Amino acid sequence: MKTAYQKLTLLIAVTAIATSACSVKPEPIKFGTDNCDHCRMTISDNRFGAEIVTKKGRVYKFDDLLCLKDYLKQGDVTKENIHSLWAVDFSKPETLTEVEKSFLLRHDAIRSPMGSNTAAFAVEDSAKFYSQKYTGEELKWVDFISQ
């Protein structure tokens, strides 16, 4: 017969395993350390970056929305296996926002690492603020991915 201590230890272990196995969320990009899963360059500009999070919790990191887009087109990760897509919020460096809910702004002066020259914003007001400085094209993710 198991003691109360053994039961408690077993419960804690099972809970820890279950919790860690279900971790399906983005993880912080380590700027200057992490490499892009598409072009293999070091992700260094903290205003740009993106992630794919799979349903199993695997995270793929990218230095530009263009690399994310191209990686998705390659088909290495199928749509059925994707849990979520994330992008760095240009107005809040190093902060991730769900790309499908974000507001995108493309302008040559934005100068992203791989040349998409597209910034993502979590809040429409931020996108509108930057669109006054960069009078570029305002997009949603569905528009960007289809181009």
Backbone angles phi, psi at 57, to 5 degrees: 95, 5
For residue 109, give every residue at least 6 positions away whose Cβ sits within 8 Å of its Cβ, in sequence order, or none: 117, 134, 136
Query: Given this model, what pLDDT does residue 7 score?
Result: 57
Indicate the domain borders of the chain. 24-146
SS3 content of the chain, % helix, strand, coil (to 5): 35, 20, 40
Query: Given this model, what pLDDT does residue 12 score?
Result: 58
Closest CA to 86 of 74, 98, 94: 98
pLDDT in tens, the chain (147 residues): 556 655 545 545 545 554 455 578 999 999 999 999 999 999 999 999 999 999 999 999 999 999 999 999 999 999 999 999 999 999 999 999 999 999 999 999 999 999 999 999 999 999 999 998 888 899 999 999 998
Q: CB atoms < 10 A from the CB of 111, how many? A: 12
Predicted structure pTM score: 0.82
